[in-house]
Structure 1
Amino acid sequence: MRSYGDPCGVARGLDIIGERWALLVVRDLLLGPKRFNDLHAGLPGVSPNVLTQRLRDLTEHGVVQRRELPPPARVRLYELTDWGRALEPLLLHLGRWGSQAPTTPDGPLGIDSILLSIKAVFDPANAAEPAGVYELRIDADTYVIEVTDGSLHISRDTAPEPPDATLTTDLDTLRAICDHRITMAAALDSDSLRLDGVEHAKQGLTDLLLAPFDSSPGPTDAPRP
């Protein structure tokens, strides 16, 4: 990687994460480990060779680490180190800042960006965001949202105990809801989305999910980490 040759912390940081695609790799690992193919599927604009190089660079600098799952899985996972996870506040702030850009690309919003948008707008002082454990089942992936003690945590995982509410749908439907092309009620009526749990928890999960996108008439101004 090229270096700025500048001892300033900003320049030293950019020496590590300033290459094209590097920060997006970090973004897509914030919610948990991924296989190479999963990373590539979430970043369709990057070539396999470039993605391999970015992962190699980030690993060499201690931002990402590789982990091998034992047999019979025999899968290599990429995950953030503690130092890499420390980039989360920067990325959330960058997402909020970037959402004010005058133009918006036409590409689809990825599931990682949708869920990180929830974190970007989460307000612990908002009493309408009750404590609870929620599960999202999006296509073949499952995510857990935990709200407790004024903090919010999202991970690519399953809830250790039955969640307070569960939302099941596909990514296309979720995108359509976030883009205001359909409403949550319409998705429920068409059976393209299922929402289970006690009523207050279902409302809490709905409020969390729509918060980044309800503040504007469309997706253009929604936070996009």
Structure 2
Amino acid sequence: MSGVRSYGDPCGVARGLDVVGERWALLVVRDLLLGPRRFNDLLGGLPGVSPNVLSQRLRQLTEHGVVQRRDLGPPTRVHLYELTEWGRALEPVLLQFGRWGSQSPQRPEGALGIDSLLLSIKATFDPARAADLRGVYEFYIDADTYLAEVADDSVQIRRGTAPDPDATLTTDLDTLRAVCGHQITMAAALGAGTLRLSGDEHARQRLTELLLAPFTPAPQPAKT
């Protein structure tokens, strides 16, 4: 398997680390959770990784059956990387790991990527609010389009579009980061024209609540 080192331990944790324990491997999986991506898209979403290392990780993950490459063929000749069914089974593991890691007292200076922002919605989604937030929502972020569907007790997010979404949000990643980071308000971004919402009023409100819920500080108990 391309010279990958093994712990030589039959424990499930060790065997899992044999597959995804190399540096960058889990972040590649993270960036494929919302749908297929091209090599250059993955490279752009992983600051600090070199093309050679990314190629090596994709090759290893493919050999292990976590990732597969799909060739679209002519005339596009585009190669897409996507998770296999076994690879997609890592999603709840990664979401839980993200919840745990977000409590770390150490916070690097880097900015969250778009996939990490949207995965935060999934990681912190409150099933009790599904009925209030039910709907189909599209996010147009720079050149990418994402679809969020709230139904029953969960939210599903992926790259793609819907024929008739309840509401849509159009903005750039810097503005989205600023809004989610409470550096500017949604109203200010709307007023400046750097963010646009479409859909009826109630659907726009549901979309806003869904988007901002992971980044809204929990109320602090009153001091006595």
Q: TM-score, with normalisation over the residues of structure 2?
A: 0.94
Aligned counterparts, 1:1-225, within 5 A: 1-126=4-129, 129-159=132-162, 161-215=163-217
Q: Shift of residue 8 of structure 1?
A: 0.4
1:9-59 deviations in Å (ceiling 9; x for gaps) = 000000000000000000000000000000000001100000000000000
Identity %: 75
The aligned length equals 216
Aligned with 2:127: secondary structure?
A: coil
Q: Shift of residue 148 of structure 1?
A: 1.0
1:43-90 deviations in Å (ceiling 9; x for gaps) = 011000000000000000000000000211110000000000000000
Where has structure 1 moved over 4 Å in runs of 4 or more? Answer: none
Which structure has the larger Rg over C-alpha atoms? 2
Alignment-derived partner of residue 221 in structure 1: none
**Which whole-Å CA distance do the structure 2 matches of 1:127 and 1:4 have between them?**
42
Structure 1 unmatched runs, 5+: 218-225
**Which whole-Å CA distance do the structure 1 matches of 2:166 and 2:84 have between them?**
30
Q: TM-score, with normalisation over the residues of structure 1?
A: 0.94
Highest RCO, 1 vs 2 (Cα 8 Å, sep ≥ 6): 1
The amino acid that maps onto 1:49 is: N
Aligned with 1:133: secondary structure?
A: strand
Q: Shift of residue 130 of structure 1?
A: 2.2
Aligned-residue CA RMSD (Å) = 1.1
- Judging changes above 3 Å, is the alpha-carbon distance between structure 1 residues 124 and 216 closer, same or farther for their aligned structure 2 residues? closer
The amino acid that maps onto 2:203 is: A
Q: Shift of residue 123 of structure 1?
A: 1.2
**Which whole-Å CA distance do the structure 1 matches of 2:152 and 2:24 have between them?**
34
1:85-111 deviations in Å (ceiling 9; x for gaps) = 000000000110001001110101000
The amino acid that maps onto 2:116 is: S
Aligned with 1:166: secondary structure?
A: strand
Matched-pair contact (CA < 8 Å) for 2:25–2:57? yes
